[in-house]
Chains A and B, each alone.
Chain A
Amino acid sequence: MISFVTGASGYLGQRLAMKLAENGDKVHALIRNPKSAADLDHPNIKIFYGDLMDIGSIQKGMQGCDTVFHVAALARVWTKDRNDFYKVNLEGTSNMIKVSKEMKISKFILTSTTGTIGPSLNLQNNEETPRWSSFNNDYEISKSLAEKELMKSVDNGFPGLIVLPSRIFGPGIDSPSSGVNRVIIGFLKKRMAIIPIQSHIIGNYSFIDDIVEGHILAMEKGEIGEKYILGGENKTLFELFEVIKNSINQKGIILKIPLWPMMHFSLLSQFLADRFGIEPKITPDFVKRLNENAAFDCSKAISKLGYFITPFDQAITSTIQFLSKKHQL
């Protein structure tokens, strides 16, 4: 079996491509930057240079493949031109679906995000939870529209399904898409972390290796037209930082501050970003999310796919080991 993996130079895609290759599957990896090829050095991986906007390059890479993992996405809080989110995440997905149809692909897995389901109320969200909260960022909007696009094709017989990772962390190449990794690196460097006073807010934190495994399980057992949340344990911000602090085994301070200075700072950052193109450290949307629960229930993936969640403490410990070695901290 040959799998086509997009975004293979990214945090999740690289790990997925390597895992598939190690399992003995052949992989066609689509990447943009030749520098990233070094991270995909495996006899089972064949590298194709291309771009989601370039249909020809997709066709070339997908030639001879049976299955597609569409992992590539613009996954960040801000870019200079916000239309890029729609180009990459929506048009890119449409292009992928189009070529997959031509190539008669047998299964197409779209990697989306639990961000499309949005924040939770008192209960944990699952795949069926309707979205109650407004959309505030282009990333989530574009991914949500990409999901709709795929589901529309599924209605016309396209063999697609969707996996939704939550907040991802764990070993892998450097990436802006893991906030937890960045927090850990920051803590290792500065021995300090700042969290909001509202530290009882719950989030779902998923280990990258579980998500990679979840993708492969979705390919093997996932049903067409279904969505599967690939998450981890639900933890409050306070618990998250406590576990990080305790696992690092070194003294450090967790500073609790109210949300409003963060909000003002983020508004200023956003203004500077919009006006002068300076990349914001935090955005108002991010601060808003800090004050909303985002608990998720993965029981569908567990029961239907055999998805497994690595215990949180264990996952954090191995992440810290990896990151401190990598960054020599």
Chain B
Amino acid sequence: MKHFVLITGASEGLGKSFAIESAKRGMDLFLVSLPETGLPELCGLIKSNFEVFVDFLELDLTDVQNCIHLIDYVKAKNYPISFLINNAGVGGNYRFANESFIVFNRMIQLNITALTLITHKLMDTLQDQESAFILNVSSMAAHFEGPYKQVYGATKSYIYYFSKSLGQELENTNVHVSVMSPGGISSNISHIRKSQLLNIFSKSTFLDPEFVAEYGIQKCLEKRVEIIPGRLTKGYFMFSKLLPKFIKKKLIQNTTTEIFNAQTILHNKGKNGEAIRERLKERIVKNAF
């Protein structure tokens, strides 16, 4: 069956890899991402390399109006979406008291509201297809509660619960729901540099977005409900279930604090005007790649 896939956050990192992987599998694509993140160029690349249909919209999905516009557009065009990959998300590690609510609100708007709204509005289209798949991208953070990830982790927990619950509701229908919980992904230069500052165990769980995307799509189409990419990550995950609570808590705290510190180091070095690190700041990298 030829799928028509809708991917949010498709212009970089994991989303870009989802797009390439879908095109390799001969799926038609509808891609969504923020303006000026190179989406038209990516669509051009896919169109010239693969014989698939590609359309796109550049929108900021933290705005509910834009989500509605997206759905209206897809419906007006009658795109037979049979595969929905809810990939767009924002994260980061922050001290709750120090950070502006705008940051947290964006996480809630994108990771929760947009994902729920788009899935809800697309349900009829998905149900109209012979068989359809939803792949929601949660995170390992949803399974390991640690400091500095309060809001991000909570939004990913939402995605996890939402997916599992919806999946049960749609059991024995033509729509399958998968939820993927990846650990670290070296999706852009700043993530790679951050991972380099971590200890060997945290570092070894970092995966290429290409691998995560291929694995995620493959397992979703095989109707796996819960997807954890990476043998090591899966191993740690299983192992952590056996640990006593206080040890688990300690371990998570150490890792999360380490990641937080790594982020702070990179951020501060950038601030001090060191040419290299400055370039590593997420936003610049986002625009560049």
Contact = CB atoms under 8 A, between A and B. Distances in A.
Contacts of A44: none
A290 to B, nearest CB: 14
A132 B48 CA distance: 13
Instruction: Assign chain B's interface to a size class.
Output: 20 to 34
Given A141-B192, A275-B200, A132 B20 contact: yes
B210 A129 contact: no
Interface centre among A90, A133, A134, A275 (most CB of B within 10 A): A134
B189 A135 contact: yes
B50 interface: yes
A274 to B, nearest CB: 7
B45 A91 contact: no
A82 interface: yes
B49 A148 contact: no
A91 B273 CA distance: 12
B17 interface: yes
Contacts of B288: 148
Nearest to B16: A132
B124 interface: no
Interface in B173-211: 186-189, 192, 196, 200, 203, 208-210
Interface in A197-235: none
A122 B49 contact: yes
B208 A134 contact: yes
Interface string B66-101: 000000000000000000000000000000000000
B49 A90 contact: no
A121 interface: yes
B230 interface: no
B73 to A, nearest CB: 24
A281 interface: no
B192 A135 contact: yes
A141 B38 CA distance: 18
Interface string A144-155: 010011000000
Interface centre among A87, A135, A275 (most CB of B within 10 A): A135
A272 B41 CA distance: 40
Interface string A115-138: 000000111000001111111100
A82 B188 CA distance: 17
A274 B200 contact: yes
Contact of B48 (A87, A90, A91, A123): A123
A275 B192 CA distance: 18
A303 to B, nearest CB: 20
B48 to A, nearest CB: 6
Contacts of B41: 130
A86 interface: yes
Contacts of B209: 134
Contact of A133 (B48, B210, B276): B210
B289 A131 contact: yes
A123 B49 contact: yes
Nearest to A270: B204
B275 A129 contact: no
Contacts of A275: 200
Interface string A85-106: 0110011001000000000000
Nearest to B192: A135
A304 interface: no
Contacts of A90: 275-276, 279
Contacts of A129: 45
Contact of A132 (B42, B187, B279): B42
A288 interface: yes
A148 B279 contact: yes
Contacts of B210: 133-134
Nearest to B17: A134
A145 B208 contact: no
B279 A134 contact: no
A89 to B, nearest CB: 10
Contacts of B45: 121, 129-130, 132
Contacts of B188: 134-135
A75 B200 CA distance: 25
Interface string B222-250: 00000000000000000000000000000
Given A121-B49, A123-B48, A141-B192, A136 B276 contact: no
Given A130-B38, A132-B16, A145 B279 contact: yes
Interface in B12-68: 13, 16-17, 20, 24, 38, 41-42, 44-45, 48-50
A109 B188 CA distance: 27
Nearest to B208: A134
Contacts of B50: 121-122
Nearest to A121: B49
A288 B207 CA distance: 12
A87 B209 CA distance: 27
Given A135-B186, A141-B189, A145-B279, 10 more contacts: A86-B276, A94-B275, A121-B20, A121-B50, A122-B49, A132-B20, A141-B192, A145-B276, A149-B275, A271-B200
Interface of A: 82, 86-87, 90-91, 94, 121-123, 129-136, 141, 145, 148-149, 271, 274-275, 288
28 contacts: A86-B276, A87-B276, A90-B275, A121-B20, A121-B49, A121-B50, A122-B50, A123-B48, A130-B38, A130-B45, A132-B16, A132-B20, A132-B42, A134-B13, A134-B187, A134-B208, A134-B209, A134-B210, A135-B192, A135-B289, A136-B192, A141-B189, A141-B192, A148-B288, A149-B275, A274-B203, A275-B200, A288-B208
The 3 tightest CB contacts between A and B, nearest first, are: A121-B49, A130-B41, A86-B276
